[in-house]
Amino acid sequence: MQFLADYLEQVKAARLYRQTVVYKPVSAAHVQLNGQTCLLLASNNYLGLTHDPAVRQAAVDAIRLYGTGAGGARLTTGTFPLYEQLEQELAAFKGAEAALVFNSGYMANTGIISALAGPADVIFSDALNHASLIDGCRLARARVVIYRHADMEHLAYLLQMTACAGKRLIITDGVFSMDGDIAPLGSIVQIAARYKALIVVDDAHATGVLGPGGRGTAAYCGVADKVHVQIGTLSKALGAEGGFVTGSGDLIDYLKNKARSFIFSTALAPATIAAALAALRELSARPELVAKLTDNVLHARTLLQAAKIPVPAGITPIIPVIVGDSGIAVRITSELQQQGLIITAIRPPTVPAGTSRLRLTVTAAHTREELTAAVHAIRRTLTLCGKRRE
Ligand SMILES: *Cc1c(COP(=O)(O)O)cnc(C)c1O
């Protein structure tokens, strides 16, 4: 078992050691850590719906009605009434024929890609796609061709140059999870049409965030009816847990019969499905939720720019501050933690070597004052650590 200790030594030496920290949630935007209440600028709870009274109540009611666990997989005894309701409303929300819920976004991606592609097919995958998409490609045992991040000329070139006897799939994050930029779906749709390629978009960070009513990246880009497979999560802006896919009735039927992560795992618990359903209804009933998020994002991005903190231009709640070195990224985030601010340091292999960063996420649960104070603290700390000049 020496290899275990050897590996741990190695990641520690490279400043890439990871460990879990217990944060006690006290609200959608605050946690307690070592007795101190801290502001969370690191959560994907974009609309603060984890702590919404109606959402919490729906989860409690579901436990009273249906118990704590599903007790079976979806195709055996795990499909209780709330599931059908949630899938119908997700399909309506996305303007699709049908929807299917998976136990997590990770399981949606691995299950869907490995069901759609096989050894005769070629997958064209953005270089910065999420790990769960990469793992889905590996499970599919298809040939994977990686195009430079969001580089449409490169994608078109590779499609042209790559012989393919089977299907072509183009797979991309909608909003990239560590950079916060948006996939150029308008161009992808045009290029895909030339090669009859299927398009799969993972909207983990766009569901409830981007596009009219938070309908996602394809809606934002005006191509909702041209993206064949739209994946989302219930675990981020919707404040619950799980992943989902929307598309044609045939697609959903096919996945029910073929996606192994759907078939061979116990259905999500009633409380989780009830929470997701209630959250989806809150999202539709209260457009001011997404408006508040958008307003906070603009406020934070404007302040960061004014403070000469190097962040790329953008409009999403994911704001990377790239510092390069892993050790410095960790040092900055622990300094900020001392000041009551939780921001995650993102290091390789999550991001490419030399691009370690602070990953800030803004939510609708933050107040403007909190965001203003946070930007001041980040500015001070970056200056102290030599990552920003006055
Ligand atoms: C978080 C995330 C997932 C995984 O979703 P979970 O519901 O957390 O398993 C998939 N894709 C992207 C782009 C993500 O950011």
* Helix (H) / strand (E) containing 147: strand 143-147
The pick from 102, 177, 178 for probing ligand 1's pocket by mutation, whose C-beta has the most ligand atoms within 8 angstroms, reads: 177
Residue 161 falls in which region: left (phi positive, over 0), alpha (psi -120 to 50) or beta: alpha
Euclidean distance between CA atoms 248 and 229, whole angstroms: 8
Residue 201 near residue 229 (C-beta atoms within 8 A): yes
Q: How high is the pLDDT of residue 385?
A: 86
Q: How high is the pLDDT of residue 141?
A: 97
Residue 296: which of 199, 365, 215 has the closest Cα? 365
Confidence of residue 325 (pLDDT cuts 50, 70, 90): very high
Gyration radius from the chain CA atoms: 21
Q: How high is the pLDDT of residue 74?
A: 97
Two structure tokens written together for 263: 């078939």
The protein residue with its alpha carbon nearest to ligand 1, atom 7, reads 105
234 C-alpha to center of ligand 1: Å? 9
Confidence of residue 324 (pLDDT cuts 50, 70, 90): very high
Atom of ligand 1 nearest to the CA of 233: 7
From residue 124, alpha-carbon distances to 195, 221, 236, 246, 355 in Å are: 12, 20, 26, 21, 24
Residue 290 near residue 220 (C-beta atoms within 8 A): no
Q: What is the mean pLDDT of residues 14-37?
A: 93
Ligand 1 and 48: CB distance under 6 A: no
From residue 41, alpha-carbon distances to 92, 292, 355, 375 in Å are: 32, 16, 20, 11
Q: How high is the pLDDT of residue 15?
A: 83
Residue 272 near residue 314 (C-beta atoms within 8 A): no
Amino acid found at 123: I
Euclidean distance between CA atoms 118 and 167, whole angstroms: 9
Please tell me what DSSP assigns to residue 162. -
- ∠ CA(324), CA(329), CA(332), 5° rounding? 135
Two structure tokens written together for 90: 């997700």
Amino acid found at 15: R
Confidence of residue 213 (pLDDT cuts 50, 70, 90): very high
From residue 8, alpha-carbon distances to 17, 70, 203, 326, 344 in Å are: 7, 37, 33, 16, 21
**Share of residues in the chain with pLDDT > 90 (%):** 96
Q: Which domains does the chain have, with CATH numbers?
A: 19-46+287-389 (3.90.1150.10), 53-285 (3.40.640.10)
